[in-house]
Amino acid sequence: MSMLDIFQVSGSAISAQSQRLNTVASNLANADTVAGPDGQAYRARQVVFQTLPMAGAGSAGVQVSTVREDSSPGRRVHDPGHPQADGEGYVTYSNVNSVEEMVNMISASRSYQNNVEVMNTAKSLLLKTLQMGQ
């Protein structure tokens, strides 16, 4: 039955969206980080989505192909009294853009909800199909 494929398609999408949500969470958590374990400021991470072809014409799921690091320069704040300040008195914070992350978070949560709704609809239709002829 081809309707059962919907669970794979939407399942791959909600797993990809939850990974995106995870990335947003770690970005927001590290928005004010000065230095990570390696001594460098935290760099924002973004997931890259890719279409995952599945059996059956027109059926396509989603997968996260890579998680890439944002290479833009970090936020520099003049704070000579800070222990991490450089020679000129500047502290380099992470390059996370909080507003962008919030937008990403809302978008991911909406997409997640949409896919859950798709699965619920497909499930109820399939259950009704199972009772056919009774």
Partner 1 sequence: MLNRLTDTLNFQAQALSLRAERQRILASNIANADTPGYQAREMDFAAALREATGHANPAARPAPAQAAPRAGHLPLQPGEAGPTALRYATPSQTSLDDNSVDMDRERASFADNAVHYEATLRFLNGSVKTLTSAITGQ
Q: Which residues bind partner 1 (CB under 8 A)?
A: 1-3, 5-6, 9-10, 12-13, 17, 20, 48-51, 54, 56-62, 107-108, 111, 114-115, 118, 121-122, 125, 128-129, 132-133
CB of 68 to partner 1, least distance (A): 13
**Inter-residue contact 15 to 38 (CB < 8 Å):** no
Which phi-psi region, left, alpha or beta, contains residue 89 (left: φ > 0; alpha: ψ -120 to 50)? Answer: left
Query: Tokens standing for 33?
Result: 């980080």
- The three-class DSSP label of residue 6 is helix
Helix runs in the chain, H state only: 5-29, 98-130
CB of 2 to partner 1, least distance (A): 5
CB of 23 to partner 1, least distance (A): 13
Closest CA to 24 of 2, 45, 52: 45
In terms of CB distance, is 3 or 77 closer to partner 1?
3
In terms of CB distance, is 12 or 27 closer to partner 1?
12
CB of 80 to partner 1, least distance (A): 41
In terms of CB distance, is 5 or 79 closer to partner 1?
5
